[in-house]
Structure 1
């Protein structure tokens, strides 16, 4: 599978997608990549029978025009960033469209679509499905507090602090490699966090026999973390990675770090088989509650896959 030098961005004209677009433009610029903006829509199924016994057809000319207008505004917005871009209107379910197009993208970026109040902590359909199914790393960008002024084209804050969850699994190894790439591209500080729930009377270490030295177990985990990180940065000896083994679950710790971090990177193991297309509990929890953008990297991103199937109907680039 060949990944093109593009960052794929889902755009729908909402404030959340504008914020995600701003973030994606900064990411593309940091890596020297192009943007591919996509606006998709699915036509409703009409059951009202027409006079000839068939079904009523919907002229989607107006819908296409609206989608093209959204993309035109989005491209005008990223022109201020100095990042080259193309834009396409695609018919189909948004999540399915972006998953299919992720086969040849370096990264996919989407915003969250909560429903107000407490539900703002919940993800929309696309931001839930895409990280689990994508063939490339996916970044979900939470809504900016106070919303986004469509006329505000000031650059987003650069990524200066990155935190990656590491637990020794193959999935977290993949996440660590991508976190290192991000840290190098941005010149950012990188911190690796391993969570071990040792809280009073509960947690992983509570299951160990009383004779077992819990502190020794934590030291062993810290040594294991050093081995994993040292191996990952072997080709980048100048890159410093801070390391922390902390009391708590990975989800709890990464969510806490998100309030003072610019990017969280997390791997996802899923559960194997068909269920492997679902995100693991840690990545789901972090996505739902993080205060900063979250990059989800599954092993699928590096295992390769088939070339695009052509099932997605691309209306073509608006502005090559």
Structure 2
């Protein structure tokens, strides 16, 4: 076959459409397998396509010979290995009968996934990989994913293996999982949007919604305050706001079973404990120091790193359903 000339244009392959369903990062590790199974079940529940993605960069090693220079790893070899991992992943969830596509991307894993988050509905990944792309992704870089993703993200820890049917013979039996989705709140606008997303998720799954507000216990760390804290008055004020928020939420989700809990304790510890038996834990990315203190922001990272179940992190965005919140009672004033 003759080589193409300037007068005979070469047909270019059609670009791969941007993902519009649920994107899950795959590297073949046990952690990414847990994320895969969770994401596939969620895709089936939402009736959305599932996009399996792995990304890599070709490493370059300094040559040790006297001639200097660099040695590169064959790109084709790495790509073939990545494609094999994706084929195995697709076969693993084939029985769920969800629409699946798989793609290998050349580039920084975090950058690839963040770009896909612009069109995807959900971005899912494991908590820690085995040196594959998720291994890098969920190191220092992964902390930026929930904060910068354009869509909600879900972190699925390896401790979910038993509840997802991915546990080995030596794994402890799974804890009993309640038919509940839990969301942490602190009175901020960001938390209210997370509550709306959590309510949608609970309604879709046919389970109840549990709203938890954790108030930091009084310790010596509050000694700088100009006057003693009236704990009873503080709790009463927060409870009034929670009651108003519950009434507002029931107005938008009249058929959804809702329970609200106001507890004293570290937000990280309370929510990590809740993750053990909740189907999903939902949090916002960044609070404003609402009535429960710094629940969101650094607390979100603390919960994600220690959670025993899937954690969804929701970036703040405007939602018209928040416009009528003040009509139902007092709320936090910025």
Q: How many residues align?
A: 279
SS in 2 for 1:12: coil
- Residue of 190, 196, 212 corresponding to 2:215: 196
Q: Does 1:164 align with 2:176?
A: no
**Whole-angstrom CA distance in 1 between matches of 2:80 and 2:217:** 57
- Match for residue 251 of structure 1? 268
**Whole-angstrom CA distance in 2 between matches of 1:4 and 1:233:** 33
CA deviations on 1:209-238 (whole Å, 9 max, x unpaired) are 34x642122111011112223223422211
The structural deviation recorded for 1:205 is 9.8
Q: Does 1:18 align with 2:33?
A: yes
* Structure with the greater alpha carbon radius of gyration: 2
The structural deviation recorded for 1:105 is 0.5
The structural deviation recorded for 1:43 is 1.1
- Match for residue 176 of structure 1? 195
Q: Does 1:88 align with 2:103?
A: yes
The structural deviation recorded for 1:264 is 0.8
- Match for residue 227 of structure 2? 209
The structural deviation recorded for 1:52 is 11
Q: Conserved in 2, the CA contact under 8 Å of 1:94 and 1:126?
A: no
CA deviations on 1:234-255 (whole Å, 9 max, x unpaired) are 2221112100111013222101
Structure-2 change in CA distance of 1:202 and 1:179 (3 Å): farther
Q: Conserved in 1, the CA contact under 8 Å of 2:208 and 2:258?
A: yes
Unmatched runs of 5 consecutive residues or more in structure 2: 1-17, 169-175, 289-295, 320-334
Q: Does 1:42 align with 2:60?
A: no
- Match for residue 276 of structure 1? none
Query: Could you state the TM-score of these two structures normalised by the residue count of structure 1?
Result: 0.77
The structural deviation recorded for 1:184 is 0.8
SS in 1 for 2:96: coil
Q: Conserved in 2, the CA contact under 8 Å of 1:197 and 1:203?
A: no
**Whole-angstrom CA distance in 1 between matches of 2:318 and 2:28:** 28
Q: Conserved in 1, the CA contact under 8 Å of 2:185 and 2:212?
A: yes
The structural deviation recorded for 1:94 is 1.2
Q: Conserved in 2, the CA contact under 8 Å of 1:135 and 1:301?
A: no
The structure, 1 or 2, with the larger RCO (C-alpha pairs under 8 Å, 6+ apart) is 1
Structure-2 change in CA distance of 1:22 and 1:204 (3 Å): farther
Structure-2 change in CA distance of 1:260 and 1:53 (3 Å): closer
